[in-house]
Amino acid sequence: MPDEALEIACPHCLAVNRVPAARLEQQPKCGRCGKLLFDGHPAPLTDANFSSLVGRTRVPVVVDCWAAWCGPCRAFAPVFEQASRQFEPHVRFAKLDTDNNPSTSAMLGIRSIPTLIAFRDGRELARMSGAMSLSQFELWLRQHGVLG
């Protein structure tokens, strides 16, 4: 609905902003810190901000669980970055470094990387392990209702 206001957590200061759905494409800024809510880059997730960014954002959130030493993670990173540029602001893309955020990694039950998890309203919609091409990734997002 175009009149609907969506809650979007700022990836910079974690303030929750109410953004009319009709204005989502107009580069909304955070009311607290003034930074863009969506900047075409995946937001960094941590043990400290995971609940706020995933649970308080009313657009789907897709999380890439990765580690710096992982070859497939490094190979998939440009695809995830491109998807962020292409599909934001209708989807929030975020990256969780599993080595540096063990509590969230354990809570999510991460056993292999890269693992992609799609959330809506803080609840898991879909999960997949392994790297893929942009077209495969887009298909996966569409199959699980992340993209319309």
pLDDT above 90: residue 62: yes
Region 102-115: mean pLDDT is 97
Count the Cβ atoms, other than its own, within 10 Å of residue 81.
16
Bridge partners (DSSP) listed for residue 115: 65, 129
Q: What is the pLDDT of residues 1-31, one digit of tens each?
A: 457 899 999 999 999 999 999 999 999 999 9
Q: What is the pLDDT of residues 38-49, one digit of tens each?
A: 999 999 999 999
CA dist., res. 121 & res. 100, Å (int): 25
pLDDT above 70: residue 131: yes
Region 99-106: mean pLDDT is 98
**Sequence-distant (≥ 6) Cβ neighbours of residue 77 within 8 angstroms:** 64, 66
Q: Please tell me the predicted confidence (pLDDT) of residue 127.
A: 98
Assess whether 33 carries a catalytic annotation. no
Region 77-99: mean pLDDT is 97
Structural domain spans, the chain:
39-143
Are the CB atoms for 19 and 6 separated by under 8 Å? yes
Fold assignment, 39-143: Glutaredoxin (3.40.30)
Assess whether 65 carries a catalytic annotation. no
Q: Please tell me the predicted confidence (pLDDT) of residue 148.
A: 79
Q: Which of 10, 30, 65, 73 is catalytic?
A: 73
CA dist., res. 86 & res. 17, Å (int): 22
CA dist., res. 100 & res. 104, Å (int): 10
Q: Please tell me the predicted confidence (pLDDT) of residue 2.
A: 53
**Sequence-distant (≥ 6) Cβ neighbours of residue 90 within 8 angstroms:** 24, 59, 60, 147, 148
Residue 115's pLDDT band, with cuts at 50, 70 and 90, is very high
pLDDT above 60: residue 105: yes
Q: Which of 10, 30, 65, 70 is catalytic?
A: 70
Residue 88's pLDDT band, with cuts at 50, 70 and 90, is very high
